[in-house]
Structure 1
Amino acid sequence: MSAPDIVLDVEGLTVDLPVAAGTLHAVRGISFQIARGETLCLVGESGCGKSMTAFSIMDLLPPRAVRKASRLVLDGEDLIGAGPQRWNALRGDRMAMIFQEPMTALNPAYMIGDQLTEHHRLHKGSSAAEARERAVFLLDKVGIANAGQRLTQYPHQLSGGLRQRVMIAMALMCGPDLLVADEPTTALDVTIQAQILRLLLDLQQELGIALLLITHDLGVVARMAHRVAVMYAGEIVETGTSDEVFGAPKHPYTHGLMECIPVPGRTLPGDRLGSIPGVVPSLVGDISGCVFRTRCAMADAACAGEVPWRSQGAHGWSCLKVAA
């Protein structure tokens, strides 16, 4: 990809948090790029650092968290040294986020219209009428009927699916270059989940947005991703196109995730699904070697040492036992 195509370029991103037992290394040296019009899915178990990665990109980390990176570039602009004022100008304008829980992400004390139009007026300097027109347009775009009337309603008057659509419309109000969606369908039933994912995909393709989609659902990844980054214990252990990662997974952790999924036509009623033994290791204190080795059937003493990054073209993985 040429430089103008890259919307987000992240290299060597780490996030550390002080805890009672020492330092928690929540995100450990991850790197990725997202191009305009591309969907990168960040996938892994709960607690692997996916949401912390999203918050670090948006500069929404807890006050005591320490973020470091070799590169953090949004559409050509270096953000490593950006101050709070610059981040406030970027968030909601050139970069936006759909949060995990629509039931709590909207303020129950304010009408939908006020919450939709506030940051458009702030970032774009629009009038109340212009911001309202934009809000009605986007509510209609995300499939909400009677959009003008919805602006006068409060969040508790909307279903979970409608609230999530409002969250998507809110994220798109200023036409961002980068959209971060953190588990955007977690609280929704299966039918509404499919509608929201289809909506996100259609809007992303239509508007040419770079989309970072964070999920633990491999079914969502298969439907949405151009490229996939598999995350485990704070680091990316495998990355590649959706076809590469699903068709020929390399890392033992990715294999384990795939074996946990029932396969239509092959998995019969009553069949036992695969599982990954053991538990995720502590990320507090010093960490060395392959962090998956305590749960991996292929591991031996050598896995406690340096772990190489291997690759075949754009398909890469971190494993001593799986050669390129």
Structure 2
Amino acid sequence: MEVGMDDPILSVRHLTIDIPLAQGTMHAVRGIGFDLKRGETLCIVGESGSGKSLTSLAIMGLLSKKLRQKAEKLQFAGLDLRNQTPRMMRGLRGDRMAMIFQEPMTSLNPAYTIGDQLEEAYLLHRKAGKAEARARAVELLGKVGITAAESRLSQYPHQLSGGLRQRVMIAMALMCEPELIIADEPTTALDVTIQAQILRLLSDLQREMNMAMILVTHDLGIVARIADKVAVMYAGEVVEQGTAAEIFDNPRHPYTRGLLRCIPVPGKTKPGERLGSIPGIVPSLVGNFQGCAFRGRCDVAEPICSEMVPVQEEGQEHMWRCIHAAGEGASEGVSQGVRP
């Protein structure tokens, strides 16, 4: 089934991921959903352990068989990903959908050269010859800003710096010009200067190739610079979702507002001034769980928060899971100045 330019290339509805443990079942991802169109960037943001990376791996079909995954809808480019065999998924991965992993040193194979690893997907999916694959690898290395690209093909991952290895990972993901790219914390281990270069590179390549992109991160500063849409995850749920402007300028969920208060605002936050913080820890998701997972850390929580939490909407895309209506309990100006 063909997908029109205005139709979502990726649709997720009520995705759940359960992890069997000795002490019970951990409900790691609990009923999340979103749509993503070509050319759009969705940033999934939240604390470590909120389910961001598991969601990405589920879309790519890379979850361990020990984990239990269900979804009402998991559709990519008109294909139902729930019904794809492992062989069909291997045909999609690296070709029409690709992933940039968090740590390039462990994602790249230390026993193979950069050239071998770059050319592998192209040889598999394009049925091309070695010379064509090598030329494509040199082209992509140059496109991601690596100088002397041809000489790099014979090098091994340990011979490159962290920034260069991350650029190699990006080039590898782009070898077959995928329609969807998922970047899981692609700048975590890099210094600020290299981080900015990688983000600018991803944004430029996305526009050039009209790709849909999911960027997984815990850094709202990154989100402010690159996102079209934002999904804020907490304890396995999307607690707020909307356009970047809605999330940063008009946050509705107490968790989102708490995250934004942790960010220094240029021109407003004075040197040495104490930043905001969110007290407490993420609750255990093992066993039965009901109500708002954030209620134990929320400064506007009420007894009713331990019951079923309503999903509220404002406009066509902005939604949040909270008993409070628009504006109730909101702290004015928490995000003013965060957006560039």
TM-score range, shorter chain: over 0.9
CA deviation profile, 1:165-204 (whole Å, cap 9, x unmatched): 0000000011111100000000100000000000000000
Q: Map 1:193-208 onto structure 2 (within 5 A).
A: 193-208=195-210
Aligned mates of 2:280, 2:99 — CA distance in 1: 33
**Which residue of structure 2 lines up, in the alignment, with residue 231 of structure 1?**
233
Would you say 1:98 and 2:97 are equivalent positions? no
Aligned mates of 2:192, 2:111 — CA distance in 1: 29
Does the CA-based 8 Å contact 1:229-1:238 persist in structure 2?
yes
**Which residue of structure 2 lines up, in the alignment, with residue 138 of structure 1?**
140
Percent of residue pairs bearing the same amino acid type: 63
Q: Map 1:273-292 onto structure 2 (within 5 A).
A: 273-292=275-294
Does the CA-based 8 Å contact 1:110-1:154 persist in structure 2?
yes
Partner amino acid for 2:51?
G
**Which residue of structure 2 lines up, in the alignment, with residue 112 of structure 1?**
114
**Which residue of structure 2 lines up, in the alignment, with residue 321 of structure 1?**
324
Q: Map 1:1-324 onto structure 2 (within 5 A).
A: 5-313=7-315, 314-323=317-326
TM-score (norm 2): 0.93
Shift of 1:264: 1.2
Does the CA-based 8 Å contact 2:5-2:38 persist in structure 1?
no
CA deviation profile, 1:279-318 (whole Å, cap 9, x unmatched): 1000100010111111111111111111111111111111
Aligned mates of 1:275, 1:260 — CA distance in 2: 6
Does the CA-based 8 Å contact 1:4-1:75 persist in structure 2?
no
Question: In the comparison of the two structures, how many residue pairs are matched?
Answer: 324
CA deviation profile, 1:189-227 (whole Å, cap 9, x unmatched): 000000000000000011000000000000000001001
TM-score (norm 1): 0.98
Does the CA-based 8 Å contact 1:41-1:221 persist in structure 2?
yes
CA deviation profile, 1:37-93 (whole Å, cap 9, x unmatched): 000000001110000111111111122001100011111111111111111111111
Match of 2:9, SS state, is strand
Shift of 1:4: 5.2
Aligned mates of 1:281, 1:147 — CA distance in 2: 48
Match of 2:44, SS state, is strand
Does the CA-based 8 Å contact 2:27-2:285 persist in structure 1?
yes
| 259-268 or 165-174, larger mean C-alpha shift | 259-268
Partner amino acid for 2:203?
L
Q: 1:206 to 1:5 in 2, by over 3 A?
A: farther
Match of 1:80, SS state, is helix
Q: 1:271 to 1:4 in 2, by over 3 A?
A: closer
Partner amino acid for 1:161?
G
| 55-64 or 187-196, larger mean C-alpha shift | 55-64
